[in-house]
Amino acid sequence: MTFSIKRVRAIVTKDWKDLLKNSYVLITIVLPLAFAAMLSRMAPDDPSLLTMPINIALAMTGAFVQASIMAEEKEKNTLRVLLLSPASTLEIMAGKSFLSAFITLAVVAGSIFISGIQIPGLPYFSIMLLLSLVIFLSFGTIIGLVSRTVMETSVVGLPVLIIFTYGSMLASMFDNPTMSAIVSYLPTESFSAALASLGQNGGFAEIKWDLLNMLLWAIVSLIAAVFVYGKRRFDK
Amino acid sequence: MDYQVEVNGLTKAFANKSALKGVDYAIKKGEIFGLLGPSGSGKTTMVKILTAQLQHTSGAVQVFGNDVSKLKDPAQMKRIGILTDNSGLYDRLTVYDNLELFCKLYDVSERRIDEVLEEVNLLQDKKTIVKQLSKGMKQRVTLARAILHKPELLFLDEPTSALDPTNKGQIHAGLRKLNKEGTTIFLSTHDMQEAEELCNRVAFLHNGSIVELDTPQQLRIKHGDSTIKLLLKNGSTVSVKQDMSGANAISQYITNGELLSVHSNEPNLGDIFVKLTGRELQ
């Protein structure tokens, strides 16, 4: 497997130029920031709501921007053209994920800034954010490859957004212990739990199981994305 | 013999349907090889197999002397160019931006962009957003992209199907120039005129099998009926054989002042295809 920074940079540059003219993606970027502003006004003193804007930013920007970029490449047959160029699978995946990752980080930072809450334990928070990025970009890649069109990504991706962002809310609504147990293993739940522990001056010992759960999610989702990419990369 | 492509006993089946049934042929270096067949005959499947987009069911396929699977290696991929039936362009970007990406991917100088746009008659449109181009113009951009890196082997799947005669002629001239510079061309088309104009050899693909393969000239001789058609001044036509009796008949018509024109009865590739398969090429 070859890897050329020059080729990755070419794909990123192209994606950046394209993104600036893509209204669908631009709206997807702005929405989490609007949610963050709304949530901060709703409960400015409730730190438990801090993770909500972050999770929304990760799910909406991380997953949906990546999904729409991948789906459009597939829909317009440009992914096929990239695959028939000297760019390797790794270069294409890296190039296509770099911009989504960068935008997601910017939106997460923007959401935190708008929420106005200090992040406890920055090194651990950075690791958690990195793992979340891998998870949501992988989901985005899968959603984009499974969807036939960009518009279809909204339909295919909606359950992901609902389950991962509002999982605990849904579990409490149904008051079902099994459902609550399943939801507790979601990476977003681990993210929230770990962040709460860090907020109470907790350290690695308090968040290790949450980190492990997120790491497992990251590994499994990455493997699933590579598998789906292998199966669905060529348009029909 | 230096072959760029060798296909032996190639079969491809989709579920219960056979798309290709034991196909054999080889393409020599520097040749323009035409694969002619109507829609659904298996041409696009063939191109996809030869460019490692699709795995074949059985048989052997070699490109540049290696198994076709080796094309996935970026160094090998740089040696081929592909123009498929669907454009695959970035609609929101300009023509230049589209080609610039592939210059970087193929490690080609961006100066080459103007050269290829000149060849496909689009230089004046290089700053135009692709979305604003006509279908024919988009097809010319994809052709420019396919030849950007001067590939050793160029696969063209219906390259001029959306073009008017003027642009078609210009593209043909560009392809001949590329071929003279050493590029081997695999042309898949149902346009028999295009095949006659460009190809050194043509293969007729019908229902997944090659039913004839030769130079266009040899095919015309092989499937011609060795007669000459005479148009007389009274409006009637007469067919005479290409032998002494025919020569005498022509001489007699000229002497009598009855002959208006002489025409060859040589069939074109479309006629030969119909004769062999009972189907039109379109």
* B90·A86 Cβ contact <8 A: no
B148 close to B118: Cβ distance less than 8 angstroms: no
What percent of chain B is modeled with pLDDT above 70?
A: 98
B18–chain A nearest CA distance, Å: 18
Residues of A within 8 A of B146 (CB-CB) are none
How far is B247 from A98, CA to CA, in rounded Å?
Answer: 77
Q: What is the mean pLDDT of each run of 10 residues along chain B (282 residues)?
A: 90 88 94 90 90 91 93 88 82 95 94 92 93 88 92 90 80 88 92 90 92 91 84 90 88 91 84 83 66
Which pLDDT band holds residue A236 (cuts at 50, 70, 90)?
very low
A17–chain B nearest CA distance, Å: 7
Supply the pLDDT for residue A173: 76
Residues of A within 8 A of B105 (CB-CB) are 7, 10-11, 82, 85-87
Residues of A within 8 A of B90 (CB-CB) are 14, 18, 76, 78
pLDDT tens-digit series, residues A172-227 = 777 777 878 888 888 988 888 888 888 888 888 888 999 999 999 999 999 999 88
Is the ipTM here above 0.85?
no
A227–chain B nearest CA distance, Å: 17
Q: What is the mean pLDDT of residues A162-178?
A: 77
How far is B84 from A138, CA to CA, in rounded Å?
Answer: 29
Residue (of A88, A63, A68) closest to A1 by Cα position: A88
B83–chain A nearest CA distance, Å: 9
How far is B103 from B148, CA to CA, in rounded Å?
Answer: 7
CA atoms within 13 A on the CB side of A18: 27
What percent of chain A is modeled with pLDDT above 70?
A: 94
pTM: 0.82
| All structural domains of chain B | 3-79+151-220 (3.40.50.300), 225-265 (no CATH)
Residue A213 in contact with partner chain B when CB distance is under 8 A:
no
How far is B83 from B104, CA to CA, in rounded Å?
Answer: 18
Supply the pLDDT for residue B146: 92
* Chain A, chain B: beta-carbon pairs less than 8 Å apart: 63
